Structure 1
Amino acid sequence: MSSPRTVLVVGGGAAGNAATILLRRAGIAVDLVEARDDWNATAGSGITLQGNALRVLRELGVWEQVEKAGYGFDAMGVTTPDGTVLHVAESLRAGGDDLPATLGMQRAQLQSILIDAVRAGGATVRLGVRAASLDQDGDGVTVRFTDGSEGRYDLVLAADGVGSGTRAAIGITDRPEPTGMAVWRVAAPRPAGLTRTDIAYGGPAYIAGYCPTGESTLYAYVVENQRERASLPASSYADEMRSLARHYGGFWPEITAHITDPDQVNYTAFARMLVEGSWHRGRVVLVGDSAHCCPPTLAQGAALSLEDAWVLAGMVSAADVWDDALFQAYYERRVARVRPVVEASVQIDRWLLDGVRDADVPGVTGRTTAMLRELP
């Protein structure tokens, strides 16, 4: 009897965890290595998951836990800076009519749910470990790890994020490029009556918005021009975000009152990247943010990463031969879907930076969401 095929997943974020769960379900032996000692030390306060992300989470078998932990809704409001509601739009359910259009949840809770599913699936997990070197031949990849150990794999999935060291190690030189914007985010209690995302354009920030993440929680964000991190000591984060947020009305005064702890505020620059031509070299394949990233103007980063994992795991599990043709087919299938999302996200970012007052943001959002409703 031939031994089962083996896969190394580098990175234990959403894409890596999803791929691991699906590959183990198909009977493939999986080792997962995560650079952090604390696997659940997820930066960020909350996450917005569109319907196409929820569809993949259902395929992973974790939808019931996600639904219970998060807060689903089907509308988005647009307000003036003083909180006056200008328009409330029903959002298209990109994951299908039986899933909410959008669900917000705390990032750490999503990570915890995925971690539990990875462990239940029987993958071997090592924390605080990186892939130090990869030596490929026609049959597989020999990987040496930072803890001094070595392993031999039929396939390596690079799911180690936008700053992927694996991407660089296989000679792909693409790197994320800043778009010029950055976002402040914070978790806060959810005021009574706040039941959807509202976005205010204008005021001292380009965007001020919030998303409910549970029965009593939300995360709030304000988007501004990117600043040099050297000018932003971490101790000033709460003051900096509060100085922007205090100019907004509606639910914002109640939210702003809780922006007090700089350790609970994070600052993230917007970036774009789309690796072109292929997402593999030999038997090392990029998945998720290691292959693409975009501004969160359409809230599709996690969704696209989860889709990558679902598609790649399905193709790998069904294939008798793992070769260039298979991995190129994965790239061509995914890039046709990812490229318009990256381009649309960057376009909205650019309209805001350029102050385009008649920008067709609703049209771009609607067309993109309609495209994402189709199966990846």
Structure 2
Amino acid sequence: MTDPRSRAVLVIGGGASGNAVTLLLRRAGVAVDLIEAKPDWNATTGSGITLQGNALRVLRELGVWEQVSASGFAFGSLGVTAADGTVLFVAEDIQTGGPELPATVGMQRPRLQQILIEAVRACGARVRLGTTAESLDQDDDGVSVRFSDGTEGRYDLVIAADGLNSATRAMIGITDRPEPTGMAIWRIAAPRPEGVTRTDLAYGGPAYIAGYCPTSENTIYAYVVEGCRDRASIPARSYADEMRALAEGYGGFWPEIVKHIDDPAAVNYTWFDRHLVEGPWHRGRVVLVGDAAHCCPPTLAQGAAMSLEDASVLAELLTTRDTWDDRLLTDYRARRMPRVRMVVDASVQLGRWLLDGVRDADVPGLMNRTMSALKETP
């Protein structure tokens, strides 16, 4: 078998999938350059993230589970409440990562990114921040890359992990683009009210969904989901007012959370998108992973998990096969596509039922079927 140490890979994008595939390839001895457009490596971006068991399984594979466990808040159930805070029912979460891992861990997104950054720094990858790929010139043996800093590099494979609006995807001629689903979400990090020990979701009220997730012993992230509005029509200085106006219509723990929705700079407003590249996920020796290939609304909290699983499957194939060819990259997509499509379609359907006002939708059934299927290893 070809010695992995003779191979060189460029990873474009330092988010979850890019960091993960870098770690796994470096473990096998592959030389990896990672470039990230943001000078701060997105180390301070985001409020919170919900990591279900199948995401935790990959984080354990990366060797960072202990840090994640120590930094996050583990729980095993999901509550559904009325708008006034009355708990309607509590469902046990499915342990999609197996019995050794919690069903769910909530954590602060910047903390997860910092854990992955530290691991990538320690693994021996060459990292360049504030750098993009300006051109890719492929031939049968590899890819020549010209970078925004004027330098050039030569690689056996380029992995595009540069997100939903991937410039690399466009550069190699894949024309699939994300499409809004009609929903948008307001998010904020806040102190954890005493008694919040799981995610609770309220359907209905002033918004379609209002929820929160504990992210540490002291913090949560809270969110409200509404219909899409023209982002240009919402001044950034009004973000706290906009989110607070929606959140004030909810009871239970929400009055305490609302007290902390006071800084517009701390509030994030994002549309929900559906994205799935229907054709091949590669062109020659350039391959997509994570949000560059697919993205879904957070209604199932599976976005990060799908990206991490992509990295795991691609790295497995690259480190166990002698030949890096079209067949390998086709097999990677074939393994991922049914699982990813299931999650994307289910995530979009949950939102569509709300938008259409379907009152008898089988939400628990769809969620249970999807999460049960995710117990299988990717």
Cα distance in structure 1, aligned partners of 2:148 and 2:58: 32
1:1-376 alignment runs, 5 A limit: 4-376=6-378
What residue identity is the alignment partner of 1:301?
Answer: G
**1:59-83 Cα deviation digits (max 9, x unpaired):** 0000000000000100000000000
Q: Residue 228 of structure 1: CA displacement? A: 0.5
What residue identity is the alignment partner of 1:48?
Answer: T
* RMSD (Å), alpha carbons: 0.9
Cα distance in structure 2, aligned partners of 1:329 and 1:50: 26
Cα distance in structure 1, aligned partners of 2:138 and 2:315: 21
* Residues 43 and 114, structure 2, Cα contact 8 Å, conserved in 1: no
Query: Scaled by the length of structure 1, what TM-score is found?
Result: 0.99
Q: Secondary structure at the match of 2:337?
A: helix
Deviation larger for 202-211 or 38-47: 38-47
**1:83-123 Cα deviation digits (max 9, x unpaired):** 00000001110000111111100000000000011011100
Q: Residue 319 of structure 1: CA displacement? A: 1.1
Cα distance in structure 2, aligned partners of 1:106 and 1:122: 26
What residue identity is the alignment partner of 2:181?
Answer: T
Cα distance in structure 1, aligned partners of 2:358 and 2:297: 17
Q: Residue 302 of structure 1: CA displacement? A: 0.2
Q: Residue 295 of structure 1: CA displacement? A: 0.6
Q: Residue 278 of structure 1: CA displacement? A: 1.1
Cα distance in structure 2, aligned partners of 1:226 and 1:68: 36
Q: Secondary structure at the match of 2:45?
A: coil
**1:314-366 Cα deviation digits (max 9, x unpaired):** 10011110000000000000001100110000110100100100111111111
Cα distance in structure 2, aligned partners of 1:200 and 1:149: 52
What residue identity is the alignment partner of 2:284?
Answer: G
Cα distance in structure 2, aligned partners of 1:353 and 1:59: 38
Q: Residue 40 of structure 1: CA displacement? A: 3.4
* Residues 166 and 292, structure 2, Cα contact 8 Å, conserved in 1: yes
What residue identity is the alignment partner of 2:232?
Answer: A
Q: Secondary structure at the match of 1:296?
A: coil
Q: Residue 277 of structure 1: CA displacement? A: 2.2
Q: Secondary structure at the match of 1:113?
A: helix
Q: Residue 42 of structure 1: CA displacement? A: 4.4
Cα distance in structure 1, aligned partners of 2:333 and 2:252: 45
Q: Residue 41 of structure 1: CA displacement? A: 3.6
Q: Secondary structure at the match of 1:248?
A: coil
**1:121-156 Cα deviation digits (max 9, x unpaired):** 100000000000000000000000000000000000
What residue identity is the alignment partner of 1:183?
Answer: I
Cα distance in structure 1, aligned partners of 2:286 and 2:349: 31
Cα distance in structure 1, aligned partners of 2:7 and 2:310: 20
Name segments (4+ residues, structure 1) moved above 2 Å.
40-43
Cα distance in structure 2, aligned partners of 1:187 and 1:340: 30
* Residues 72 and 215, structure 2, Cα contact 8 Å, conserved in 1: yes
Gaps of 5+ in 2: none
Deviation larger for 304-313 or 43-52: 43-52
Gaps of 5+ in 1: none
Aligned CA distance change for structure 1 residues 292 and 337 (closer, same or farther; 3 Å): same
